[in-house]
Amino acid sequence: MTETRPLRPETIAAAHGVASDAAFGAIAPPLYLSSTYEFAGFEQPRVYDYGRAGNPTRDLLADALARLEGGGGAVVTASGMAALDLVVSQLPAGAGVIAPHDCYGGTMRLLKAREQLGQLSLQLVDQRDCDAVGAALAGSPDLLLIETPSNPLLRVVDIAALSAQAKAAGAAVAVDNTFLSPALQRPIALGADYVIHSTTKYLNGHSDVIGGAVIAADAGKAERLSHWANVVGCSGSPFDAWLTLRGLRTLFPRMHQQQLSAMVIAQMLDHHPAVSAVHYPGLAAHPDHALAARQQLGFGAMLSFELAGGVDAVKRLIAALRLFTFAESLGGVESLIVHPATMTHADMGDAARHVAGIGAGLLRVSVGLEAEKDLVEDLAAGLAVC
Ligand code: PLP
């Protein structure tokens, strides 16, 4: 692809690196698996010398992600958790970190574990509460971590407002953009310093890769992260990068179709007597609907809902469903349903789950690419036995 003018994000996703192979003119970018590279001569390394430090396939994915997020550079890591930890590892010893009180369970586990080791001081805050954020920022923390929409309750917080507040207090801002991807939300344009992804989810989109990425607004900070990824050895594998780049090609049409189905499903659930609450920012009644409409480029394909019949109803629904597979993870072409309290957020513990509002009757759904009517019929049939 030869570029003569700025390209739209859809084009970057579909075409970054296409037909860039100088050796044979391959349309699909080649997969370079080699772990090491021949030096041109004594003290003459080429562009790449060792696969942990750099790899052409991984770099192509990093460049595509940096362009999509509007960043100065990106690092592709072995998982979303490795991406989060890469950002945290840049902090000085004893640094202050503010994180959402209702973030992904693995994120909370990581931050609490690092706190227990004495490496950081963690404040878990309801980031919808400006006063609570202000009070936490008064302690001059080093990093504000945002996750919006949140996992699993789909709460939305104001990235621009929080970033401005954090900057004024001298804290860097990192946004976990896993739930929406750059197709539907671009945090750097809203003031974030770092965007974090579990590429395992929408960016790859086919549930066959565990991967992550950090995109830094500043090119120098991206360089530093890249250096550090080599130092600790958390770089992603070339094959995973190749698969993720392939998945990225269809990111926009997948997100488009999946969020259309999610809206229909959310509306159906909203009217169902067995359902006591639906959490989907696309619904006009969602408390953060106006903010999501302003901040996001779409409402996404994740939603959660609560069954009036509690955990017994959860068990009956799970057993009755045919199309929604009962499994962790999200963002793939297949629809998945998960019980956060016993699966993704089990490690949080009862007390933290209670504070976050994650109850026993809550189910989280990742809406896939199956026919929307089949999905609605499957859920309706399952809910009939709840
Ligand atoms: N961030 C969010 C919002 C997630 O949902 C997850 C995983 O579910 C992660 C980060 C961690 O990603 P990974 O499983 O690729 O390590």
User: What's the pLDDT tens digit per position in 283-338?
Assistant: 999 999 999 999 999 999 999 999 999 999 999 999 999 999 999 999 999 999 99
Do residues 231 and 256 both lie within one domain? no
Give the residue from 248, 276, 310 where a domain finishes: 248
Do residues 60 and 124 both lie within one domain? yes
Do residues 115 and 244 both lie within one domain? yes
Do residues 138 and 235 both lie within one domain? yes
Give the residue from 221, 248, 275 where a domain finishes: 248
pLDDT band, very low/low/confident/very high, at 89 (cuts 50, 70, 90): very high
Do residues 222 and 318 both lie within one domain? no
Do residues 270 and 127 both lie within one domain? no
Atom of ligand 1 nearest to the CA of 211: 15
Give me the pLDDT at residue 5, please. 84
Please report whether residue 181 resides in a domain: yes
Give me the pLDDT at residue 4, please. 74
Do residues 243 and 378 both lie within one domain? no
Catalytic residue list:
52, 104, 176, 201
Q: How many domains does the chain have?
A: 2
Question: pTM of the prediction?
Answer: 0.97
Facing residues of 180 across strands? Answer: none
181 lines ligand 1 (CB under 6 A): no
236 lines ligand 1 (CB under 6 A): no
Give me the pLDDT at residue 352, please. 87
Do residues 212 and 258 both lie within one domain? no
CATH for 56: 3.40.640.10
pLDDT band, very low/low/confident/very high, at 2 (cuts 50, 70, 90): low
Please report whether residue 2 resides in a domain: no
| pLDDT, averaged across the chain | 97
Q: At what angle do helices 130-137 and 159-168 cross, to 10 degrees?
A: 30
Asked if 81 and 104 touch (Cβ cutoff 8 Å), the reply is no
pLDDT at 54 over 90: yes
Q: Which domain holds residue 71?
A: 9-248
Do residues 226 and 348 both lie within one domain? no
200 lines ligand 1 (CB under 6 A): yes
Please report whether residue 54 resides in a domain: yes
Q: For residue 111, give both structure tokens.
A: 């931050």
pLDDT at 244 over 80: yes
Do residues 74 and 221 both lie within one domain? yes
Give me the pLDDT at residue 378, please. 98
Give the residue-averaged pLDDT of 241-268: 98
Give the residue from 248, 265, 287 where a domain finishes: 248
* pLDDT per residue as tens digits for the range 38-49: 999 999 999 999
pLDDT band, very low/low/confident/very high, at 34 (cuts 50, 70, 90): very high
Give me the pLDDT at residue 1, please. 57
Closest residue by Cα to residue 296 from 221, 137, 190, 206:
190
Percentage with pLDDT > 90 across the chain: 96
Spacing, Cα 80 to ligand 1 middle (Å): 5
Tell me the pairing of strands 362-366 and 336-338.
Answer: antiparallel
Please report whether residue 3 resides in a domain: no
Which of 79, 178, 208 most suits a substitution to test ligand 1, by most atoms within 8 Å of the C-beta?
Answer: 178
Amino acid at 287: P
pLDDT band, very low/low/confident/very high, at 348 (cuts 50, 70, 90): confident
Atom of ligand 1 nearest to the CA of 82: 16
Asked if 363 and 328 touch (Cβ cutoff 8 Å), the reply is no
Do residues 177 and 315 both lie within one domain? no
Question: Residue of the nearest CA to atom 15 in ligand 1?
Answer: 80
Give me the pLDDT at residue 293, please. 98
* pLDDT per residue as tens digits for the range 175-223: 999 999 999 999 999 999 999 999 999 999 999 999 999 999 999 999 9
Give me the pLDDT at residue 3, please. 66
